[in-house]
Amino acid sequence: MSPRAWGILLVLSGAIFLEGIDVAMMGVALPAIQSDLGMSTASLQWVVSAYVLGYGGFMLLGGRAADLLGRRRMFLFWLTVFLLFSGLGGFADSGWMLILSRFVTGLAAAFMTPAGLSIITTSFAEGPQRNKALLVYAGIAAAGFSLGLVVGGLLTAIHWRWVFFAPVILAALILVTAARLLPREERPARTSGFDVTGAVTITGAMLLLVTTVVRAPDVDVKWTVLTGVAGLLALSVFVAVERRSSSPLVRLGILRSAPLIRANIGAIAFSGSFVGFQFMLVQYLQHLRGWSALETGLAMIAIGIDAIVAPVLTPRLVARFGNTKVIATGFTAALGAYAFFLTVGTDTAYAVMLPAMLLLGMAFALAYGPLTIAATDGIDEAEQGLAGGLFNTSFQFGSALGLAVATAVNVAVTQSESPSDLLAGYKAAFVVSVVAAFLALLTTFGGLRSARR
C-alpha cells in the first residue's frame, strides 16, 4: 500500500479505536460515576444501554446513508457530533444528562462507524489487500477496547469526567487529519430515491427491539412483551415496504448471503457473551474483591493481548486456514475462558485468573477481524455501507442483549449483599456468557462444512 493509503487506513482505524476506547473506559468508570451522581444500579445500566440504544437503533440507517449521501461527508459530520456530545457527558451533573449524552454519542457512532468501514472496503481491492486492511482495522479496534480498560482506570483515578474529556481530544485530532486525508467524493447525482418510509420503520423497529432488551431486567414483563411485539410488527412493516420499494433502504436479497448471515449471528452471540462478561467481571473485582478502578484496569490489560495478536498473527492464520476455522478457534477459546470463571471464589488469586484473561484476549483477536471480513466479503461496492451497518448493528444488538440477560440473571440470583450471595450472582451471570459463546460456535459449523466441500 502507498503511504497515502496507509494514512487513510490509520485515520479510519483511529475512529474505531476512539469508539472502542470510549466504551471500555466507561465500563471501568461506572462505579465512580454511580457514587458521584448517586445513581441506582438500574439507572447506571442505562449509561451503557443508552449508548447501545442509539448505536444499534440507527446503525442500518447510518450504513445506508453513507452509501447514498456520501461516506466522507457522513464520517466527518458525525465524528464532530461524537466529539461534542462526549464533551457534554464530561460536564453532566445528573444521571439523565449523562444518559442523554451517551445516547447521542451512540447515535453519532451509528453513522460514523459504517461510513468509515465502507470507505476502507471500497478503497482497497477485494482479496488479500482488503483482508489485510480489515485485519489492521479490527486489530486497532481491539487495541482501543483493551487499552481503554487501563486508561479508564488511570483517568478514573484522577476523576471520572476525564473518561469523557479524553475522547474529545482524540476525536479532534482524528477529525483534523481525516479532513485532510480522506478523498473528496462527487455529490450523489440523485437523492430523491431515498427510502424514507423504510428508514422510519427500520429505525423504529430497532429502537423498540433494543429497548425491549435493555429494559427487560427492570420493567414488568407485560412492558417487555408489548415493546417486543411492537418492534416485531415494525420490522414486518419494514420488510413489506422494502419488497415494494423501487429504491429500498435494505435490498433484501443481500440476506441471501450465507457467510453474511453466519457472520452477523456469530457477532450477536459473541459480542453478547463478551460485553455481559466484562460488565460482571468489573463488578466482581470492584464490589466483591474491593479493587480500585486502576487495579481493575491493570488486571484486565491481559485481555489486551489481542492488540498484538490481531495485526501480527491473525492475518497469517486467515491466509493459511481460512476465515471460518480461525473464527471457530476464537469462539472455542472464548468458551473456555468464560467456563474458567465459573470456578472463581471470593479470594481467587490474580495469577490464577490471568491465563483465562489471556485466552479471552486471544479469542477476541481470532474472531473479530475475520468476522468483519466475512460480513463484507463478496458484497457489491454500492452496498458496502449497508453490509457494514448490518454487521455493526448485530454487534451492538448482541452487546445489549448480553448485558441485559447477564444483569437480569445476576439480579434474580443475588439475594443479599453478603459475599457468598454476590459471588453466586456473578457466577450465574458468567453462565450466560458460556451459553452465548457456545451458540456463537454453533454458527460456524455450516461454514466449516462449506469450506470442506
User: What does DSSP assign to residue 301?
Assistant: G
The verdict on 231 and 314 lying in the same domain is no
Residue 35: give the domain boundaries: 3-183+251-452
Within 10 angstroms of residue 154's Cβ, the number of other Cβ atoms is: 17
Among 370, 368, 362, 313, CA closest to 333 = 362
The verdict on 239 and 374 lying in the same domain is no
C-beta separation of 182 from 56 below 8 A = no
The verdict on 348 and 407 lying in the same domain is yes
Distances (CA, A) of 253 to 56, 58, 61, 108, 315: 22, 21, 17, 28, 30
pLDDT category, 335, cuts 50, 70, 90?
A: very high
The verdict on 222 and 107 lying in the same domain is no
Predicted confidence at residue 197, as pLDDT, reads: 81
The verdict on 260 and 132 lying in the same domain is yes
| Domains contained in the chain, number | 2
The verdict on 233 and 264 lying in the same domain is no
The verdict on 306 and 429 lying in the same domain is yes
Give the global pTM: 0.79
Predicted confidence at residue 448, as pLDDT, reads: 57
Asked whether residue 189 is assigned to any structural domain, the reply reads: no
Domain final position from 250, 273, 294: 250
Query: What cell was used for 92?
Result: 453532566
Asked whether residue 413 is assigned to any structural domain, the reply reads: yes
The verdict on 224 and 356 lying in the same domain is no
The contacts of residue 427 (CB under 8 Å, 6+ apart) are 341, 342, 344
> What is the C-alpha to C-alpha distance for residues 447 and 263, in angstroms, rounded to an integer?
10
The verdict on 219 and 265 lying in the same domain is no
User: Angle between the 350-376 and 314-321 helix axes, to the nearest 10 degrees?
Assistant: 50
Asked whether residue 188 is assigned to any structural domain, the reply reads: no
pLDDT digits 0-9 by tens, 183-226: 887 665 555 556 778 778 877 887 787 778 767 767 788 888 99
Domain final position from 232, 250, 268: 250
Predicted confidence at residue 447, as pLDDT, reads: 61
C-beta separation of 447 from 262 below 8 A = yes
User: Distance of alpha carbon 417 from its chain centroid, rounded?
Assistant: 31
* Range 151-156 average pLDDT: 82
Asked whether residue 190 is assigned to any structural domain, the reply reads: no
Predicted confidence at residue 451, as pLDDT, reads: 52
pLDDT digits 0-9 by tens, 4-50: 888 989 999 888 888 888 887 887 788 788 888 888 766 777 787 78
